[in-house]
Structure 1
């Protein structure tokens, strides 16, 4: 799937991702890079990216490699998401790099490092466990 198609799928599947303007920059079945553009909608008082915006970015970032691995399927759901806010991201765009650490039969474990555009140091770190949805 192309980054453009994945962006469309993410925005359709998670309307909040569309409202925030989240876009897929690159992706494969084990990693991805997503971008949260600067927007008044994603800022908290004080002019920095809000926690809910960063959590949304992380959650959809983890979903993207799974979409690639399943050719657009949707077999997993977030079971746990833990985020550590390391420093304010400021009012710039935020990049999220996700890596699937382990993909098992029933669980998927991933981590996401986020940084403000133009920065080397991370602004947040996320670990998350996803589970396979039971067949309908």
Structure 2
């Protein structure tokens, strides 16, 4: 895999500048050798009845995580877009805990990137969801 071009601070600044509507929802925990770890800072707006994190909130975490993992390798290409996503929800997240997405870049080509994302409740090593995502990278 290619080395990261951006730091966690640069990705965080990008979110704050270009995606102000969600900047407080996510924390870039780490840029890894294979991708990124992104945290959903769980708030009441992310919960469904029963007090667990909603499916759409976990989907958004996987999508933003894959997006940032790709940008960390190619630079701030804001027009990189999701072309496909499939997500499996495997178990209920632990109530009151943030959820963390561990994204692995499987392929980073000139036009397409393919990622695998595992979502976990903070402090639990059992995945609550798994997503497969493909992105289109704009031509240079």
Q: Aligned Cα RMSD in Å? A: 1.9
Give the TM-score of the pair, scaled to structure 2: 0.85
Q: Residue in 2 aligned with 1:93?
A: 98
Q: Residue in 2 aligned with 1:23?
A: 27
- CA shift at 1:115, angstroms? 0.4
Other structure's SS at 1:53 match: helix
Q: 2:74 aligns with which of 59, 63, 70?
A: 70
Q: Which runs of 5+ in 2 are unaligned?
A: 1-5
Alpha-carbon separation, structure 2, partners of 1:88 and 1:13: 31
Q: Which runs of 5+ in 1 are unaligned?
A: none
Runs of 4+ displaced beyond 4 Å: none
Which moves more between the two structures, 79-88 or 6-15?
A: 6-15
Question: Contact 2:70–2:113 at 8 Å: present in 1 too?
Answer: no
Give the TM-score of the pair, scaled to structure 1: 0.87
Alignment length (residue pairs): 134
Alpha-carbon separation, structure 1, partners of 2:102 and 2:17: 21
Q: Residue in 1 aligned with 2:88?
A: 84
